Amino acid sequence: MTETNMAAEAARVAPRDELRHDDDPIVTDAATDVEVAVRLAAASGVDRSSRADRARWLTALADAIEAHRDELVELAGEETHLGAARLSGEVTRTATQLRFFAGVALEGSYVEATLDAPDASLTPPRADLRRILRPIGVVAVFAASNFPFAFSVLGNDTASALAAGCAVVVKAHPGHPRLSRRVAELGRAALAGAGAPASALALVDGFDAGTALVRHPLVSAVGFTGSTRGGRALFDLAAARPAPIPFYGELGSINPVVVTSAAAAADAAGIASGLAGSFTRDGGQYCTKPGLVFVPEGAGFERELATALTEAPSQALLTDGIAAAHDTGSAALVARDDVEFVFAGERIADASTPVIAAAPVVVATSAEAFVAAHEVFLEECFGPLTVLVRYADAASLAAALAVLEGSLTGTIQHAPGEDVAELTVALERVAGRVVFNGWPTGVAIAWAQHHGGSWPASTASVHSSVGATAIRRWLAPIAYQDAPASVLPPELADGNPLGIPRREDGVLISAPH
């Protein structure tokens, strides 16, 4: 079907002015909504836009959400129970991500432009070959509950997909529907003002819309941030399509921490204070929350942690479902015979909401019990809970680390000058990012960042959902052999007229300054 016919078909299915829905961008007819949104996205021409155009669009989106910061923070607070300071900071992060990917698009190395000149003397002879990464097509993005801005409608998946040249259809998270609508409205207006196609960004809502998005034949890839259970169901759906598509899910993560004996002896109180702040931050509702901490037996770490938690606040969790799952999960651990209860904070109700706040919970077990029942202890409990695993010596610690599953992060708390090479290797096996004498909560936006890990942390450990290489998910390679100059993308043209980094005849050529 041609792009003109796709647009006409979308208008026939639902003549609603390109799914603009000025009154309410989310409609109740999920199948029709998805059909219109995806077909218009596929016909939008975003994939033929220039990198400079897309950089301008992303900058306009960043400006728009910052201009409406106060309104958006208030709305997000009403729906998520997160504090104004945290939400305002997240608006800043989201704008930073958008501008960051504007810079990635302009810099151009992400397209991996590669040229090999013809050489008849080789066996077999080499033709003129030019390779580039091109936009994959329409991207479906599933918004997260715990980051209503930074991993939602205009979050990192959307920013990186638009930077790659892919139109985006976002499935709103039910935890903040009004905020999602408003951000989508602002985003579409900003894109239109910057000269982008009106259908470059669309929003749909509801369970049925989510499954319809993954199944739609014009959706080429999916980005998801959420639970292992939900992500696995959608991952299987994407794989079961007549033409399977990549599904990039960031799922559950336990984020193990190792505290060495030398580190505990040097500063148990300081490490305990850092852990207390990290695993209770915003109610423990971070994908990088340290949920499993290996500590030396007899070091007094439990006492120091309990002391550090005496002032830790309780926090109303994002949704009733998350709160119920936290209560159920923590109660099940506390009830086990091989678990020792260490600490539970006071559950204080917030006078401004009927929701009962969740309080920090700490339990402990032995390394031997952990190994014997590791399937139980490795199940993520979203919220302010962490499990201490006591090890007696290096051998028991090594045995415990050997049964770890994939995580987004792994952390080593060590003494200055201590040899932690073996621990590093053990955590490299399972973690996408290894942190030394720090805490994993807080994921910097940077070219060198990696936010992923082997299953169940993510469905594709070779890719990142944060940092410049997040754009790689929405690109596919194509090689041109003996192509006329008129059909080549400008990034592959003779003489490098766009001045991007390229590899020519095996030599990496830097962009001219």
pLDDT in tens, 322-332: 999 999 999 99
Q: Output the six-digit token pair for 195.
A: 């000269």
**Are residues 115 and 121 in contact, defined by beta-carbon separation less than 8 angstroms?**
no
pLDDT at 13: 32
Please tell me the predicted confidence (pLDDT) of residue 26.
39
Q: What kind of architecture, by CATH, is found in domain 45-109+131-251+463-473?
A: 3-Layer(aba) Sandwich (3.40)
**What is the CATH architecture of 256-436?**
3-Layer(aba) Sandwich (3.40)
Q: What single-letter DSSP state applies at residue 49?
A: S
pLDDT at position 18? 29
Where are the CATH 3.40.309.10 domain residues in the chain? 256-436
Q: What six digits make up the tokens of 270?
A: 């300081």
Would you place residue 353 in the very low, low, confident or very high pLDDT band (cuts 50, 70, 90)? Answer: low
Predicted local distance difference test score (pLDDT) of residue 348: 66
Three-point CA angle 288, 291, 296, nearest 5°: 125
Residue of 232, 186, 154, 192 lying closest to 71 (CA atoms): 186
pLDDT in tens, 392-433: 999 999 999 999 999 999 999 999 999 999 999 999 999 999
Residues of the chain with CATH 3.40.605.10: 45-109+131-251+463-473
Q: Tell me the CB-side half-sphere exposure of residue 24, using CA atoms within 13 A.
A: 8
Judge whether 287 counts as a catalytic residue: yes
Task: Please report which confidence band the pLDDT of residue 320 belongs to, taking 50, 70 and 90 as the band edges.
Answer: confident
Q: Which residues contact 251 (CB under 8 A, 6 or more apart)?
A: 224, 226, 227, 228, 231, 232, 455, 456, 457, 458, 459
| CA 506 to the chain's CA centroid | 33
What mean pLDDT value characterizes the chain? 92
Residue 162 pLDDT level (bands cut at 50, 70, 90): very high
Strand partners, 293: 257, 388
Query: What is the pTM for the complete model shown?
Result: 0.91
**What pLDDT shows up at residue 59?**
98
Pick the catalytic residue from 18, 90, 287, 381.
287
pLDDT tens sequence across 462-484: 999 999 999 999 999 999 999 99
Mark whether 297 is an active-site residue. Answer: no
Q: Which tens digits make up the pLDDT trace of 247-298?
A: 999 999 999 999 999 999 999 999 999 999 999 999 999 999 999 999 999 9
User: What are the backbone angles phi and psi of residue 238, rounded to the nearest 5°?
Assistant: -65, -40
Q: Are 160 and 474 in contact (CB under 8 A)?
A: yes
Spell out a b/e string for 195-221, using b for 16 or more CB atoms within 10 Å of the CB, else e.
Answer: ebbbbbbbbbbbeebbbbbbebebbbb
Q: What is the pLDDT of residues 12-36, one digit of tens each?
A: 333 222 223 333 343 346 778 999 9
Catalytic residue (one of 35, 90, 250, 302): 250
- As a whole number of angstroms, the distance between CA 448 and CA 430 comes to 19
